[in-house]
Amino acid sequence: MFFQPLKRLVYSLLLSVVVATTANARDVSINFIANASLRITDGDYVLFTDFPYVSGAFGHMEYTYPYFVEQDNNVTTLITSRMTDHFDPVTFMTLGWKVIGPAEVVGDLQSRYITLNEERDRVVAELERNRILDQAERPDTEITVILPDPIIRPDTMVVEENLIHGPIHIQAIRTKSAQTEHYSYVLEWGGRKIYLGGDTGDTAHLATLPEVDIAFLSPWLFENARKEDALPNAKKIVIYQHHEGEIIPNCFTCTIPEKGELITFD
């Protein structure tokens, strides 16, 4: 019978694909910026989470960031909610990055783009009218004007329950937070699984999570989950969206990073 050899061949091919995929997976590294903002990269793709946000918003961490270092990178930012301690649309509109986020975030950016373009069109029209008048008064002189820079259309994507973005698989989980559209995320990237709680304090979804390498929890989500015996199945728990120097009670094995700190998977 040829079924057994065929079965072995199919198994060998599948195994080869798995081995090749694992071998080609690039290691990812994570840096904590501030608040709920992380910079995650495999050396090719760069993913920020909840960044840029309004520095110091709602009493959270202030930060400075050298955006120019990202100008040649393939950069995307993943947003949990529109709240200003998680996203600053004004700064984002100047960066030319991609964004994946709730419909509220994407809709706001698209609306801002339209408004800014309309304002620019009015300025350009006024400059052109003035140029024509000046040219008429001085016909022997060539009148030139400097136009404002074009407005960059934001590269936006409304988050879906499951999506692939480059090497990253993103699972979005709708969670409760401050009466706004909010998502928590599980990232699968380079053979690692990373959970991002964002701003939610709701623990109901934690039981549905797969085992993850690192879980990023706010202090209030951690405390709620601890009291309910609902902490995620994670090899490492990192507290973010904390205040500088904040002590997290009962978080004896947690990592509480400082701004700029490298978060390892160990």
pLDDT at 2 over 60: no
Backbone angles phi, psi at 53, to 5 degrees: -120, 170
Backbone angles phi, psi at 86, to 5 degrees: -125, -20
12-21, 61-70, 225-234, 239-248: lowest mean pLDDT where? 12-21
pLDDT at 89 over 80: yes
- The β-bridge relationship of strands 262-263 and 234-239 is unpaired
Question: 27-112+149-263: what fold?
Answer: Metallo-beta-lactamase; Chain A (3.60.15)
Mean pLDDT score, 188-215: 97
Quote the mean pLDDT of the chain. Answer: 90
Where in the chain are the domains? Answer: 27-112+149-263
pLDDT of residue 151: 87
pLDDT tens readout for residues 3-52: 344 334 333 333 333 333 333 457 999 999 999 999 999 999 999 999 99
Whole-number Å distance between alpha carbons of 196 and 199: 9
> Among all chains, which residue has been given the structure tokens 């728990």?
237
12-26, 78-92, 130-144: lowest mean pLDDT where? 12-26
> Among all chains, which residue has been given the structure tokens 């004007």?
145
Whole-number Å distance between alpha carbons of 137 and 238: 68
- Dihedral sign from CA coordinates of 104, 206, 75, 92: positive
3-state percent breakdown (helix, strand, coil) of the chain, nearest 5: 30, 25, 45
Mean pLDDT score, 181-191: 97
- Dihedral sign from CA coordinates of 225, 229, 231, 236: positive
Pinpoint the alpha helices (H) of 31-178.
Answer: 89-92, 103-137
Answer with the residue of higher pLDDT: 72 or 233.
233
Cβ(248)–Cβ(220) below 8 Å: no
